Amino acid sequence: MNKNAFIISVLLAFFACFPVLFSNPYWIGVLNDIWLYAILGLSLNWIVGHTGLFNLGHAAYYAVGAYTAAILSTRYNIPILWLLPVAGAAAGLFALAVARPIIHLRGDYLAIVTIGVGEIVRIALENDIFGLTGGSNGIFGIPRPEIFDMRIRRPWQFYYLIGGFLLITIWFFYRLEQSRFGRALNYIKEDETAAEGSGINTAWYKLAAFVIGAVWAGMAGTLFAAKMTIISPGSFNFWESVLIFAIVILGGAGSIPGVILGAFLLVGLPEFFRNFADARMLFFGAAMVLMMIFRNKGLLPPLARKYAGVPRVKGGDA
């Protein structure tokens, strides 16, 4: 425990000082991407890692959030950060409408249907749905975010904005994970019939988990729109969903540190291998296959929750 607290403090201090120590905007930009994908990964982790619902269309909710923020901020000049809850709510409502009829599907069936949802959203955006999304060119001229009259433009400023939101995300999901809500989702993942038979409203919890994950992806979409100032459907394609999914599985489904590590590896490492761009996908494909064989719970699998007063396990580290 103390060891973990120490490691966390050192990492926090290091990353808090990073932009001061290394003022290289390129690497700060890379970290911004990592933070963003860590947020997305944690939001999907709630659905996939904790509840065991195979959602392979998470980019759809990310897109709904990004476009909601982009449309409202460009048309009505609403400061984009105010739109965080609005974009989250839009993504959540969309998820509620989509998930309600499909959430009872099991495993691979749900995976296939969610891929379909992701594609439908992308195609709708490309076809300039309701004349709002700008077709395949997307939306540009999204205003920069402002905090206390400070205009957020430079990478280091985004670094603290997105990094701060990541900290809130970690805190939010950590607290939920440690509550009866988190336990209920884990029971469902383990054995849905037994969970229902023990008194857990499985249908409600599955839907709630899905919607909360989508809300969070929608808010991540707002940050993305604010950072890019231009968004287009290409940013929300099937591979985006696969990447977020892979971050969760590689790092360790159900584990917050695991998902963050997954974001570092899948978003950060490719930047080191820019010169071998072609071999990159091959490398990651092979890494995933090896991992599934040798470490199928991910690199940093979740730790069991601790309960005060429960007898210590002999020889264990609990």
Partner 1 sequence: MSLLSLEKVVKTFGGLTAVNRVSFSVDAGDVVGLIGPNGAGKTTVFNLITGNYTPDSGEILFEGRSVKGKKPHKIVDMGIARTFQSIRLFQNMSVVENVLAGCHCRMKSGIFASMIRTPGQRREEKKALETAKEVLEFVDLWESAGLSASSLSYGKQRLLEIARALASRPRLIILDEPAGGMNDQETAELLHLIREISRKGITVLLIEHDMGLVMRACEKLVVIEYGTKIAEGRPEEVKNNPRVIEAYLGSDEEEDAC
Which stretches of the chain bind partner 1, using CB under 8 A? 172, 175-176, 178-181, 183-184, 186-187, 190-191, 193-203, 212, 304-305, 307-313, 316, 318
The count of C-alpha atoms lying within 13 angstroms of the C-alpha of 276, restricted to the half-sphere facing its C-beta, is 10
Nearer of residues 274 and 314 to partner 1, judged by Cβ: 314
Joined tokens for residue 58: 């998470």
Nearer of residues 114 and 186 to partner 1, judged by Cβ: 186
Report the nearest approach of partner 1 to the CB of residue 250 (Å): 19
The answer to whether the CB of 147 falls within 8 A of the CB of 226 is: no
Nearer of residues 45 and 186 to partner 1, judged by Cβ: 186
Burial of 159 from C-beta contacts in 10 A (0-12 / 13-18 / 19+)? buried
Report the nearest approach of partner 1 to the CB of residue 184 (Å): 6
The CA–CA distances, whole Å, from 301 to 22, 91, 103, 194, 249 equal: 31, 29, 26, 24, 10
Report the nearest approach of partner 1 to the CB of residue 215 (Å): 11
Joined tokens for residue 93: 């409502």
Report the nearest approach of partner 1 to the CB of residue 287 (Å): 25
Report the nearest approach of partner 1 to the CB of residue 51 (Å): 13
Nearer of residues 280 and 297 to partner 1, judged by Cβ: 297
Nearer of residues 77 and 193 to partner 1, judged by Cβ: 193
The answer to whether the CB of 145 falls within 8 A of the CB of 161 is: yes
Q: How many CB atoms lie within 10 A of CB 201?
A: 12
SS3 label, residue 146: strand
Nearer of residues 139 and 212 to partner 1, judged by Cβ: 212
> In this structure, what are the phi and psi dihedrals at residue 232, rounded to the nearest 5 degrees?
-145, 160
Report the nearest approach of partner 1 to the CB of residue 104 (Å): 12
